[in-house]
Amino acid sequence: MSVLLPNMADFDTIYEMDEEDEERLVSEEHPSRYAPDPVVVRGAGHFTVFGLSNRFEPEFPSILTGKVAPEEFKMSIGRVNSCLKKNLTVNVKWLLCGCLCCCCTLGCSLWPVICLNKRTRRSIQKLLEWENNRLYHKLGLHWKLSKRKCETSNMMEYVILIEFLPKYPIFRPD
């Protein structure tokens, strides 16, 4: 791979880049490697329907100190929890009804629960996008609902990931 160096005396001279220079150039182009690991907010409710817990823990993570106010964090988690409270109680009732009728309907009675759970996830994702656009993208954070493997078992659960957006060097030339 060849590259022109900006030195005016050797402006027309073509030099070969060694592997170290290529690795440095690639790492400068992708600054997302230097962003810290995302903060994981796990479900802390009493019941879970298809991996979605009925509430998330509103305790403020210490790693977010200086990034966002604890009050804003608690208000955002409170909005997510109120959405879960409103939607997941209906899902549980449909799940119980679907389990009772499962043998007679050959499993088709569980479809309403699956559809309602998908609708609940979408409403939470829309809520988190609204929160991101309203506040968190300005603070360099991105909230999203993500599916992760549980720590204690092989089951999957939905968690809220708070990712740190990389800071792009605006003074570096293209």
The Cα 52–Cα 141 span in angstroms is 23
The ranges assigned to domains in the chain are 34-164
pTM to 2 decimals? 0.69
Task: Tell which residue, 92, 80, 146, 150, has the closest CA to residue 117.
Answer: 92
Three-state SS at 157: strand
Q: What is the mean pLDDT of the chain?
A: 78
Give the DSSP letter of residue 46.
S
In total, the chain counts a number of residues equal to 174
Q: What is the pLDDT of residue 117?
A: 80
CB 36 within 8 A of CB 27: no
Q: What is the pLDDT of residue 34?
A: 62
Q: Give mean pLDDT in consecutive 10-residue pieces for the chain, a chain of 174 residues.
A: 52 59 50 71 82 88 91 95 83 70 70 78 94 93 91 86 82 64
Q: What is the pLDDT of residue 18?
A: 59
Q: What is the pLDDT of residue 108?
A: 73
Residue 159 burial by Cβ neighbours in a 10 Å radius (0-12, 13-18, 19+): buried
Q: What is the pLDDT of residue 23?
A: 52
Give the DSSP letter of residue 63.
G
The Cα 84–Cα 17 span in angstroms is 55
